[in-house]
Amino acid sequence: MLVLGIESSCDDMAAAVVKDGRHILSSVVSSQDDIHKKYGGIVPELASRRHIETVVPVVDEALEQAGIKLAEINGIGITQGPGLVGSLLIGLSFTKAFAYVYDIPFVGVNHIVAHPLAVFLNGRGGPASKTAVKPHTPLPIPSFPLIALVVSGGHTTLFKFDTFVDYTLLGQTRDDAAGEAFDKVAKLMGFSYPGGAVVDRLAKEGDPSAINFKRPYISKDSLDFSFSGIKTAVLKHIKGIGDELSEEEIKNISASFQEAVVDVLVEKAFLACRISGVNNLILAGGVACNSRLRERAIERGKSNGVKVFIPPPSLCSDNGAVIAAAGYHLIKAGKRGDISIDADPNLEY
């Protein structure tokens, strides 16, 4: 079954063709980092305007790279939420019209729930181009039940999945998302949006024990997160220095902040495994690109007997392939969207 996945929830317009929820035939991502970086964050109005221009070419390119004709598509998965309402509406309105005209079944997908499905994907995203998902060797396939930690720019969420379509929310952030904290700390040090990858790079040359930022565990048994305090602690630390930050200070702040966030993410993810009696763990979402998080989760998995699955970075950040995979499983389970479904910026799990 060939499913087209379309993702437009935030600042990326993405489309992909995936066969049987597993094999990526194409994956095209049109990023807007060039537009938003000078504003220090995403400007919703600019994001949706650019989506209007990119939706048709991105879908066309995904079909072309997959080498398939429209008539061969058996279903469409489209992000229904959560996200920016203006951005979501572009992808959803396009999908409704497209599905109606060509008589293709479609289904609304929860973006956050779709992220972990990246570990079930393999294949390549069409010819190596700047916009295509890079080819990667197939990952071992995890078995259910499994715990998934989704760490992105807007969400930090723990789920237990019993099947592809049955899942339970275990915990989530009470304030800032992990990615948001990375972006804000990067901004405090003078870097443009999104700053997570920059902090990751700088942290490699810094001392993670240089500054002891308090780890926000909330309580020993809580599976919720809170990252706003640590961001304020970084702000206070920077103000305390007063002068312009030296290169060494920037590297040490990056490493110390990152270590504190990674400590909490790893601790809570493995606590969720322990509480649920589950020994398969997925890390997904843009922050799962973080090299220290990947390293620490793999190390901890080895000592705890938990199998850790982390997608290649190109499938951690936003892409259409995970939406296609989620769409495939929902359509197989009998779910269908219709012309009345609406974008939901706060779509629940």
Between residues 98 and 213, which has the closer beta carbon with respect to ligand KG4? 213
Nearer of residues 206 and 286 to Zn ion, judged by Cβ: 286
CA gap 324, 75 in Å, rounded: 9
In DSSP notation, 130-150 reads: TTBPPPBPPPPPP-SSEEEEE
Stretch that binds ligand KG4, among 71-79, 136-144, 190-198, 273-281 (CB under 6 A): 190-198
CB neighbours (10 Å) of residue 209?
10
Q: How far apart are CA 30 and CA 8, in angstroms?
A: 10
Coil/strand/helix, residue 28: strand
249 contact choice in Zn ion, ligand KG4, none (CB below 5 to 8 Å, kind-dependent): none
State both tokens at 244: 């312009």
How many Å apart are CA 147 and CA 175, to the nearest integer?
Answer: 22
Helix, strand, coil: what percent of the chain each, to 5? Answer: 45, 20, 35
Q: How far is the CB of 347 from Zn ion (least distance, A)?
A: 13
Indicate the residue among 160 and 294 with the shorter CB distance to ligand KG4: 294
Do you find a cis peptide bond into 105, omega within 30 degrees of 0?
Answer: no
The CB-of-59 to ligand KG4 minimum distance in angstroms stands at 20
Find residue 160's DSSP bridge partners. Answer: 147, 168
Q: Which stretch binds ligand KG4 (CB under 6 A): 50-58, 168-176, 177-185, 242-250?
A: 177-185
CA distance to 43, 54, 83, 348, per residue, from 49 (Å): 10, 9, 15, 26
- Which parts of 324-343 interact with ligand KG4 (CB under 6 A)? none
CB of 322 to ligand KG4, least distance (A): 10
Q: Is the peptide bond before 145 cis (omega within 30 degrees of 0)?
A: yes
Angle between helices 228-241 and 178-188 (to 10 degrees): 10
- 317 touching ligand KG4, by CB under 6 A: yes
Indicate whether 287 belongs to the interface with ligand KG4 (CB under 6 A).
yes
Neighbour count for residue 301 (Cβ, 10 Å): 21
Q: Is residue 122 a contact partner of residue 167, using CB atoms and an 8 Å limit?
A: no
Find the shortest distance in angstroms from Cβ 77 to ligand KG4: 16
Whole-number minimum distance, CB 201 to ligand KG4, in Å?
Answer: 8
90's contact among ligand KG4, Zn ion, none, with CB below 5 to 8 A by partner kind, is none
The least CB distance from residue 67 to ligand KG4, in Å, is 27
Residue from 11, 200, 224, 318 binding Zn ion (CB under 5 A): 318
- Return phi, psi of residue 197, to 5°: -65, -30
Region from 71-79, 120-128, 145-153, 207-215 binding Zn ion, contact rule CB under 5 A: 145-153
> What string of DSSP letters covers 53-94?
HHHHHHHHHHHHHHT--GGG--EEEEEEESS-HHHHHHHHHH
Least separation in angstroms between CB 197 and ligand KG4: 4
Please, are residues 279 and 90 in contact by the beta-carbon 8 Å criterion?
no
Question: C-beta of 220: minimal distance to ligand KG4 in Å?
Answer: 26
Position among 30, 87, 152, 280 found at the interface with Zn ion (CB under 5 A): 152
Q: Which stretch binds Zn ion (CB under 5 A): 72-80, 94-102, 151-159, 302-310?
A: 151-159
For ligand KG4, the closer of residues 21 and 154 by Cβ is: 154
User: Per CB under 6 A, which region of 59-67, 117-125, 192-200, 235-243 contacts ligand KG4?
Assistant: 192-200
From 27-35, 72-80, 151-159, 248-256, give the range in contact with ligand KG4 by CB under 6 A: 151-159
Give residues in contact with ligand KG4 (CB under 6 A): 10, 152-154, 179, 182-183, 194-197, 200, 285-287, 289-290, 317-318
Give residues in contact with Zn ion (CB under 5 A): 152, 318
